[in-house]
Amino acid sequence: MRWARISIQLPSAAVEPAAALLLEIGCSGTEQPSDLNVVGYLPVDDRLEPALGRLNEALATFPALGLAQVRPQVAVTFVEDDNWEEAWKKHFGPVRVGRRLLVIPPWETPAPGEKRLIVRVNPGMAFGTGTHPSTQLCLAALEDAVRPGDCVVDLGTGSGILAIAAAKLGSGTVVAADIDRLALRVARQNLEDNGLLGKVLLVEADSPAAFTRVDVLVANILAHVIRAMAPSIPAALAPRGTFIGAGIAEGQEPEVIQSLTDAGLRVHRVMHQEAWVALVAFRDA
């Protein structure tokens, strides 16, 4: 079978949104050869040209969204590989995160005697593979924030990885929320792979305003989205509740911190990994 290899060059802050676009136009999975490049594959048939048209239209909006200074460039090459749908899996393996978590794809088996908490996520299906620094920052922050019985909301759940981790870390009620129905289907499959279907609630929502008395609210999205939702975060949190915000590129954090502070939250931790930042903030009693 003949495949179109679709390679997009763009700033690191735009890699995850671009990967989402590749999934939306029909790519079975994506790979990230570098911090400035994301790649997806589509079969060469009559659906290819319309799919590339939709991709280019969406990428043209990135400058207005603050994700890139100019429209990202797309390069398409053609490959013959009947086994590509399996071959892309070679790019992914177990990832140790923080002190207690091990993120693995569903086709991997943990080593005998592995003591870390296992989080199974299909890395080709949606945001949140465990390999991106912003996801790892959120996982590490959840390790410190989650207490037994906590109510945790993962807003913009994508693959569901953060909701799954929260459940494995001992939360009581866990909600995985997204407005992308494809993401919710992907999250449902990942929940099933982790034995958590029915234990983690899947909700179609995109705002903290949909929730109340949340002990830990985590949002691994984008800086401008966190700034926009900041005024509604305190009311969603329980007294002394915690907000974890990520998907923030270095240099964007001062404005996000200001928005959270203006909303009445107290930012007490700024976490860095590579070119990414996560913020941990409290609602005082």
Q: What is the CATH number of the domain that holds 209?
A: 3.40.50.150
Cα gap 71→60, rounded to integer Å: 5
Of 35, 70, 89, the residue that ends a domain is 89
What CATH number does the domain containing 27 carry?
3.30.70.270
Check residue 154 and give its pLDDT.
Answer: 98
Q: How far apart are CA 16 and CA 276, in angstroms?
A: 12
The reply to whether 23 and 137 lie within a common domain is: no
Reduce the DSSP state of residue 79 to 3 states and report it. strand
For 134-156, how does the pLDDT look when each residue is reduced to its tens digit (9 = 90+)?
899 999 999 999 999 999 999 99
Domain shared by 225 and 278, yes or no? yes
Print the domain residue range for 229.
92-282
In contact, 161 and 190? CB cutoff 8 Å = yes
pLDDT in tens, 169-204: 999 999 999 988 878 888 999 999 999 999 999 999
Run of H or E including 164: helix 161-168
CB-CB neighbours of 140 under 10 Å: 19
22 and 162 belong to one structural domain = no
* 152 SS3 class: strand
113 and 6 belong to one structural domain: no
CA dist 285 and 283 (Å) reads: 7
Domain count, the chain: 2
Do residues 120 and 258 both lie within one domain? yes
Residue with tokens 């909600």: 175
Mean pLDDT, 10 residues at a time, over the chain (285 residues)?
Answer: 88 85 81 84 87 93 89 88 61 87 91 94 69 91 97 94 97 94 86 94 96 97 93 97 93 96 97 93 89
How much is the pTM?
A: 0.78
Residues pairing with 175 in the sheet: 153, 201
pLDDT at residue number 126: 57
Cα-to-chain-centroid distance, residue 66: 18
Same domain, 70 and 129: no
Instruction: Look at residues 66, 89, 112 and tell me which one is the last residue of a structural domain.
Output: 89
